[in-house]
Amino acid sequence: MTGSPLVLVVEDNADQRDLLRLNFERAGCVVVVAESAEVATLAYRAHAPALAVVDLFLPGMDGQAFVDQLRSEQPDCAIVVTSVLDPTEYPESDGALPKPFTRAQVEAVLEECLPSWRTM
């Protein structure tokens, strides 16, 4: 894979969405944001992301259902769950980003889920 990794951020809260976008962009990623699972579905079908960051509490289709759908349609996409819930309550995923999160945690998730992201 060459170039910057594509990260899909699925978050209904505008402030959290912007913060995630900014942190991933500062880490050198190309970021696509979606405020719902339905919008995110259109996005990942158009451009397959390397990583998806998914909030569990979304309007319409919830985060768990979206994670299941994304995993079945894009099996090579790493999935990171973000939520205010305790991480022990997260569905199975490749990484976790509990809220509130820091830039260092965002970079740690990238290291964990996309080990070669710095060289992409």
Count CA atoms within 13 Å of residue 50 on its CB side.
Answer: 21
List the domains of the chain with CATH numbers. Answer: 6-119 (3.40.50.2300)
- Whether residue 1 is predicted with pLDDT greater than 50 in this model: the reply is no
Show the tokens assigned to 109.
């998730």
pLDDT band at 119 (very low <50, low <70, confident <90, very high): low
Q: Are 105 and 90 a contacting pair, CB within 8 Å?
A: no
| Residues forming a β-bridge with 82 | 55, 97
Measured distance CA(107)–CA(111) in Å, rounded: 6
Residue 75 CB burial class (10 angstroms; 0-12, 13-18, ≥19)? exposed
Q: Are 24 and 52 a contacting pair, CB within 8 Å?
A: no
- Whether residue 2 is predicted with pLDDT greater than 90 in this model: the reply is no
- Whether residue 120 is predicted with pLDDT greater than 80 in this model: the reply is no
What global pTM score does this model have?
A: 0.94
Given the structure tokens 């909030």, which residue do they identify? 55
At residue 83, the pLDDT reads 95
pLDDT band at 21 (very low <50, low <70, confident <90, very high): very high
Average the pLDDT over 32-36 and give the result.
98
